[in-house]
Structures are given as structure tokens and as C-alpha cells.
Amino acid sequence: MKKLMITLSIFTLVLGFSLSAAAVEIPSEVTLIKNVNIFDGKNKKLLMGYDVLVVKNLIKKIDKAIKLANTYEVDVKTGGYKEVSGILPNDLPGYGDQVVTVYEPEKMIKKEVKVNVIEGEGRTLMPGLIDAHWHTTYASTPATVLLMDKGDMAEVAIRSMTAAKETLLRGFTTVRDPGGNPFSIKKLIDTGEYPGHRILPSGPFMSPTAGHADHYGLNETPRDKSTTNYWERNMMSMTSDGVDEVRLRTRDILKFGATQIKICTGGGVSSLYDPLDVFEYSMDEIKAIVEEATNYNTYVHSHVMNDKGVRKTVEAGVMCIEHGFFASKETLELMKEKGVWLSPQPVAWEDMAWSEPVSAAKFREVVDAVDRLYPLAKEVGVNIAFGTDQLLDASKAHQQSDYLVRLGKWFSPYEALKIATSENARLLEMSGPRHPYQEGPLGVVREGAYADLIIVDGNPLENLELVGDPGKNFVLIMKDGRIYKNTLEK
């Protein structure tokens, strides 16, 4: 047996603990997708009858009639830390079978792997979809758990991990998560241990007391600021007040792994103590948050709907407005001037039912504003993102696909799909070095890009409704070079 360097302490060896499994080898595979018409995420004209070669997790080549042998040679890294059973130094007493972590020198080797050939037969290949406002840990967790304390983080994690696979199978290969604690879910998805979408997490969304993230009851007010509630301690939401505290909490959230910071500077529908017309946080507080995020080479996005709040938030340096339903033309023009993004949702009255009359009345105002906002934003030319903001009801998660189809009311199929792919990817790039996926671009089909791909049975540039039924019309879904759905071989 090859001699290995033992890197554990004697204590760890004796107890049989493992320090790392980071170097577990993931088999590499090459996929050749033949004869597809490519929507590349940017251009309206399809590339007709092309082949796409995927090596590992990236698109290696796009060309006509790519010819390959049955195997393909790839570079594979070997060595590093590995778990090994039954190996103990000679001078240690035996305690039965042991699992230890050992180290082999790392090196690159050539490896022959099989080529997986998929016949597209003239179907449409497009980039994986991106949702710029998807709450991984809120979308499928009931309100009774999060707002009435009838559950805990273990339940949230189980529900959310299961739902992440369903999101992926709707064709959404990447999301920007604007509030919650998806960090462990992201970790397990990224290592390939569980299926799910890529995540750019904002961590807990943050507001002042009486703001959108304040879930304390009236009987808890005024509260002892030296303590936090269960959901704050578990990084699901956060209240913070004053320049010093918002700086501290921003640093906490960045330390946890946030790729951008989400704050609330205006009232929300689901929260009871902040009318839609209010402006939350002082300018000094917002500027302090922006400064901390900028120091970390990323940006701030903010939940705010009313025009005054949107304008002041933009003036304070926030680079993406979530919702913004009541923004005026003048404010949208300011956003365009400063390169700020608008991330609204095409909501309709039938989408949500509200038991609280206050929330129902707020939601009616929002729905009435949607038809005005989208055409106005398109006319002004502000950067527009696509996000869905599904909350607190797993049975409504399918609306993620419905919302994309609904964009067709104001945009052509090409415009809608470009927003949900390459444009959303451009927004995500504002995270700069905090962006966790740096090997290639997202949201496009081009050489060197991540192999996040969908094959559609039909042409969604002619019929946007095809994306509304992914179970039927998405015949192949690939993320990071790995196939998660393929009905072409049946």
C-alpha cells in the first residue's frame, strides 16, 4: 500500500474523527450536445444546427458538426486530503476500524472519460434561468413556522433543501437570495452533495426597528437591544438601529458569507408596522451600510416601494432597488443615470391571499402599480432585473415560472428571456470578487461559460409560454456540467 502522510493529531486519530473531505474526487464527464438551435442569452437570432461540447463544468466548444471519439482526455487533480479507513501509525494501539484523514501530494493527471452524446434534434438550447429575487429559505417555509414560531431552523433547512431541487427542475439554475440563511444549503449544493440551484446569498435582510424586518410583537416593545430573537440569531432577518449598529451588523453578515447586502428602506406588504409610504433608515445609516459593503468590494440592494424612498435610497449609494413599484419617471431616470438596477415582480391579485387586512390592502396598492411601472421603466431604459419573491407557501412556488411568462405582457419573448438570463447575470456580477462563481460567466451560451443549460422542446423566442411548463417543455436541464433531467433518451 502506498505510504501516506498522516496529517491528524494523535487525538483525532484515536477518536477516528475526520478533519476534511475536501479532496473527494468527483468523476469528470464530457457531454456533446448535437444539433441544437442556440439562444445564447444575448442575441435575438438563433444559431441554427450547432453542437455544444461541455467539458467538466464549462462549455468548451460551440461549432457545427463537432467530431469526437468515444472518449475524451481531461485534466484531473489528484491527491490532497482524503478519508481512509483502517490506517494507523505503528506506535498507536488499535481501537478497531479507524477513519482518518490523510494527505497525498496534489498533481494533475490526464484521464480518459467517456463522451455522453445527446441528440438535440433541432430543439432550442438556452442558458439556465436566473431569478434575482428568490428566497431559498422563505419560499417553501410556512408562515406558521417563521412568523408564529411553530418551527425551527432544522425544519426550515429540510424544507428549503428539498425545494432547491424543485427550483432547479424549473430551469432556474441560479438565484440571488435577498434574505434568509441559505449558507449551508449553498455549501451542500456547490459541493454536489445535494441537487439545487446556485446561490448568491445576501444573508439576513436588515431594517430598523418598526421596519420590514422587525418581527417583534407590540408586547415586546420597547425591547432590550442587548438581545436578539431566535430568527435573528439564526441569520434569517435582522433589526439594527444607528450608524454604529448597522456597521456592526453589515460586517457580521459579510463575515457569514454574503455576496451582497440587503436592507429595507421602505414599507412592505407582509410586515404590519411599516406602511408603504414610509422611508426607513436615515441617510447616515444607509451611507454607513453602503460604505461597509463597498469596503468589502460588493454592493447594497434595498427593499423599497415608494418614490421618495427609492430616490433617497439611490442618492445614498444603493445600487439595486427591490420592488420600486411607485417610482416616478424622474426617479427612474436618476437610477438610469447612476447605473442602478430595478428588480420588480409582475404580481397579480390572485397570486397571494392575505389573512391580515392591513397586508391585503397594501398588496392591492402594489398590484395596481405593476401595469404602470414596467412600461415606464422600459421607456426610460433603466436596468431591469427579473425576480419573483415567492414567500411562505410551497404550493405557490410554481409561480416562479408563471411570472416569467407574465413578463410577456410588456416585453417580447426575446426581451423577457434576455432579462432572465444574461441581464440578470450582469446584475450578479456587481458582487465583484464576492461573486462565488468565478470560473466563467453565467446566463450565456458561449465558449468558456458555465455549462448551465436547458433544452426546450420548441422555440421560446416565438412562444414564451413554453417556459411556463418546464415539466413538459424542458427536456434537458444541466447545471455545472451535470445533467439533472434528460427525457430525450426515453
Annotate the chain with three-state secondary structure. CCCCEECCCHHHHHHCCCCCCCCCCCCCCEEEEEEEEECCCCCCCCEEEEEEEEECCEEEEEECCCCCCCEEEEEEEEEEEEEEECCCCCCCCCCCCCEEEEEEEEEEEEEEEEEEEEECCCCEEEECEEECCCCCCCCCCCHHHHCCCCCCHHHHHHHHHHHHHHHHHCCEEEEEECCCCCHHHHHHHHCCCCCCCEEEECCCEEECCCCCCCCCCHHHCCCCCCCCCHHHHCCCEEECCCHHHHHHHHHHHHHHCCCCEEEECECCCCCCCCCCCCECCCHHHHHHHHHHHHHCCCCEEEEECCHHHHHHHHHCCCCEEEECCCCCHHHHHHHHHHCCEEECCCCCHHHCCCCCHHHHHHHHHHHHHHHHHHHHHHHHCCEECCCCCCCCCHHHCCHHHHHHHHHHHCCCHHHHHHHHHHHHHHHHHHHHHHCCCCCCCCCCCCCCCECCEEEECCCCCCCHHHHHCHHHHEEEEEECCEEEEECCCC
- The C-alpha atoms of residue 348 and residue 366 are separated, in whole angstroms, by 9
Helices 329-338 and 307-315: crossing angle in degrees, nearest 10, is 20
- The C-alpha atoms of residue 45 and residue 79 are separated, in whole angstroms, by 45
| Paired residues of 30 in beta bridges | 55, 115
To 10 degrees, the CA torsion angle through 381, 382, 383, 388? Answer: -110
Task: Kindly report the backbone phi and psi dihedral angles of residue 368, in degrees, each rounded to the nearest multiple of 5, phi listed first.
Answer: -65, -20
With cell 472518449, the residue in question is 71
Residue 410 CA, chain-centre distance (Å), reads 25
As given in the structure block, the three cell numbers for residue 73 are 482526455
With cell 440551484, the residue in question is 197
Residue 90's pLDDT is: 53
- The C-alpha atoms of residue 11 and residue 8 are separated, in whole angstroms, by 8
Ranges of residues in the chain with a pLDDT under 70 are: 1-28, 85-99, 490
Residue 411's pLDDT is: 98
β-pairing, 453-456 with 474-479? Answer: antiparallel
Q: Are 196 and 164 in contact (CB under 8 A)?
A: yes
β-pairing, 124-127 with 129-131? Answer: unpaired
β-pairing, 47-55 with 30-38? Answer: antiparallel
Residue 95's pLDDT is: 53
Helices 307-315 and 283-295: crossing angle in degrees, nearest 10, is 50
Is the pTM value of this prediction over 0.85?
yes
